[in-house]
Amino acid sequence: MYLDKNDPYTFKSQYLQNARLTGSKDSNLSGNDLNNILLGNEGNNSIDGKLGEDVVQFSGSSKEYTITKDANLITIEDSKSRDGKDTLVSIEILRFKDKDILVKDIK
Protein backbone atom coordinates (compact mmCIF):
# COMPACT_ATOMS: atom_id res chain seq x y z
CA MET A 1 0.00 0.00 0.00
CA TYR A 2 2.93 2.34 -0.21
CA LEU A 3 4.49 4.12 -3.15
CA ASP A 4 7.84 2.83 -4.34
CA LYS A 5 9.05 5.26 -7.01
CA ASN A 6 11.18 2.46 -8.52
CA ASP A 7 8.02 0.40 -9.16
CA PRO A 8 5.50 2.39 -11.23
CA TYR A 9 2.69 -0.14 -10.53
CA THR A 10 2.64 1.05 -6.88
CA PHE A 11 1.52 4.59 -7.82
CA LYS A 12 -2.15 4.16 -6.81
CA SER A 13 -1.24 2.54 -3.50
CA GLN A 14 -0.34 5.92 -2.01
CA TYR A 15 -4.05 6.80 -2.05
CA LEU A 16 -5.46 3.61 -0.48
CA GLN A 17 -6.74 3.85 3.08
CA ASN A 18 -8.22 0.43 3.88
CA ALA A 19 -6.88 -3.04 3.13
CA ARG A 20 -7.93 -6.57 4.07
CA LEU A 21 -5.97 -9.77 3.65
CA THR A 22 -8.07 -12.76 2.60
CA GLY A 23 -7.48 -16.49 2.81
CA SER A 24 -5.50 -18.36 5.41
CA LYS A 25 -1.85 -18.10 4.32
CA ASP A 26 0.65 -16.17 6.42
CA SER A 27 1.04 -12.74 4.80
CA ASN A 28 2.53 -9.29 5.24
CA LEU A 29 0.65 -6.01 4.90
CA SER A 30 2.06 -2.49 4.91
CA GLY A 31 0.12 0.75 5.11
CA ASN A 32 1.10 4.11 3.66
CA ASP A 33 1.29 7.72 4.87
CA LEU A 34 -2.51 7.98 5.30
CA ASN A 35 -4.66 6.91 8.25
CA ASN A 36 -5.22 3.25 7.42
CA ILE A 37 -7.63 0.57 8.60
CA LEU A 38 -5.89 -2.78 8.12
CA LEU A 39 -7.33 -6.28 8.55
CA GLY A 40 -5.36 -9.50 8.61
CA ASN A 41 -6.60 -12.95 7.67
CA GLU A 42 -6.63 -16.37 9.37
CA GLY A 43 -2.87 -16.73 8.96
CA ASN A 44 -0.03 -15.34 11.04
CA ASN A 45 0.52 -11.87 9.65
CA SER A 46 3.07 -9.10 9.91
CA ILE A 47 1.32 -5.72 9.64
CA ASP A 48 3.18 -2.39 9.44
CA GLY A 49 1.05 0.75 9.49
CA LYS A 50 3.91 2.99 8.36
CA LEU A 51 2.97 6.67 8.87
CA GLY A 52 -0.44 8.01 9.82
CA GLU A 53 -2.89 7.04 12.60
CA ASP A 54 -3.39 3.35 11.81
CA VAL A 55 -5.97 0.87 13.05
CA VAL A 56 -5.77 -2.92 12.91
CA GLN A 57 -9.21 -4.47 13.14
CA PHE A 58 -9.92 -7.92 14.60
CA SER A 59 -13.01 -10.11 14.26
CA GLY A 60 -13.65 -10.89 17.95
CA SER A 61 -13.94 -9.17 21.30
CA SER A 62 -10.81 -8.03 23.13
CA LYS A 63 -11.04 -10.74 25.82
CA GLU A 64 -10.52 -13.41 23.13
CA TYR A 65 -6.96 -12.23 22.37
CA THR A 66 -3.60 -12.26 24.10
CA ILE A 67 -1.77 -8.95 23.59
CA THR A 68 1.97 -8.66 24.20
CA LYS A 69 3.98 -5.45 23.87
CA ASP A 70 7.77 -5.48 23.55
CA ALA A 71 9.17 -1.98 22.86
CA ASN A 72 7.52 -0.90 19.58
CA LEU A 73 6.38 -4.40 18.61
CA ILE A 74 2.88 -5.70 19.42
CA THR A 75 1.98 -9.38 19.15
CA ILE A 76 -1.68 -10.43 19.20
CA GLU A 77 -2.88 -14.02 19.27
CA ASP A 78 -6.49 -15.05 18.76
CA SER A 79 -7.69 -17.80 21.12
CA LYS A 80 -10.53 -18.71 18.70
CA SER A 81 -8.26 -19.35 15.66
CA ARG A 82 -9.95 -16.74 13.45
CA ASP A 83 -7.19 -14.14 13.13
CA GLY A 84 -4.04 -16.15 13.81
CA LYS A 85 -1.03 -14.59 15.52
CA ASP A 86 -0.18 -11.14 14.22
CA THR A 87 2.91 -8.99 14.68
CA LEU A 88 2.24 -5.26 14.47
CA VAL A 89 4.54 -2.28 13.92
CA SER A 90 3.58 1.41 13.72
CA ILE A 91 -0.03 0.71 14.70
CA GLU A 92 -1.79 3.17 16.99
CA ILE A 93 -5.20 1.52 17.59
CA LEU A 94 -6.36 -2.07 18.03
CA ARG A 95 -10.05 -2.38 17.11
CA PHE A 96 -12.13 -5.25 18.52
CA LYS A 97 -15.89 -5.90 18.39
CA ASP A 98 -16.32 -4.58 21.94
CA LYS A 99 -13.83 -1.68 22.06
CA ASP A 100 -10.77 0.09 20.70
CA ILE A 101 -7.47 -0.12 22.57
CA LEU A 102 -4.82 2.56 22.13
CA VAL A 103 -1.41 0.95 21.72
CA LYS A 104 0.18 3.70 23.84
CA ASP A 105 -1.97 2.51 26.79
CA ILE A 106 -0.77 -1.12 26.63
CA LYS A 107 1.72 -1.88 29.37
Q: Is residue 3 part of a domain?
A: no
Q: Is residue 53 part of a domain?
A: yes
Which regions of 17-92 does DSSP assign to beta strands (E)? Answer: 18-20, 28-30, 37-39, 46-48, 55-57, 65-70, 73-78, 85-89
Domain that holds residue 23: 8-105
Q: Is residue 32 part of a domain?
A: yes
Q: Is residue 54 part of a domain?
A: yes
Q: What is the pLDDT of residues 60-79, one digit of tens each?
A: 999 999 999 998 899 999 99
- When the pLDDT of each residue in the chain is averaged and rounded to a whole number, the result is 94
Number of domains observed in the structure of the chain: 1
Q: Is residue 1 part of a domain?
A: no
Q: Is residue 2 part of a domain?
A: no
Q: Is residue 51 part of a domain?
A: yes
**Predicted TM-score (pTM) of this structure:** 0.91
